[in-house]
Amino acid sequence: MHIIIFKTNVATTQQVRELQVLLHEVLVISQCNFDLDDCDRILRIVSTDPHAQIVCRLLQTKGFDCEVMESFLVPVI
């Protein structure tokens, strides 16, 4: 599994809900969550395939800032 962490400017729970629906419609994602309490408005995605560029483009087309902060591979046990 891949875990990709993004810095965003998503600010509200309504925006989170809309973006989660969009991301799940377009990508195969195991988990997707936002941390609105973090100063970087972190988005964490867990997926079998890394989709960093696609995620950034999707958020940017909706008017949000999005950049990859970290990406790593987690061994499946």
Residue for token pair 């990709």: 4
Instruction: Indicate whether 71 pLDDT > 80.
Output: no
Residue span of the structural domain in which 43 resides: 2-73
State the CATH number of the domain containing residue 17.
3.30.70.100
Per-residue pLDDT tens over the stretch 31-58: 999 999 999 999 999 988 878 999 999 9
Instruction: Indicate whether 77 pLDDT > 60.
Output: no
Per-residue pLDDT tens over the stretch 4-20: 999 999 999 999 999 99
What confidence score (pLDDT) does residue 75 get? 60
* pTM for the whole structure: 0.89
User: Residues for the chain: how many in total?
Assistant: 77
- The residues near 17 (Cβ < 8 Å, ≥ 6 apart) are none
The structural domain count of the chain equals: 1
Beta strands in the chain (DSSP E): 2-8, 31-35, 42-47, 66-73
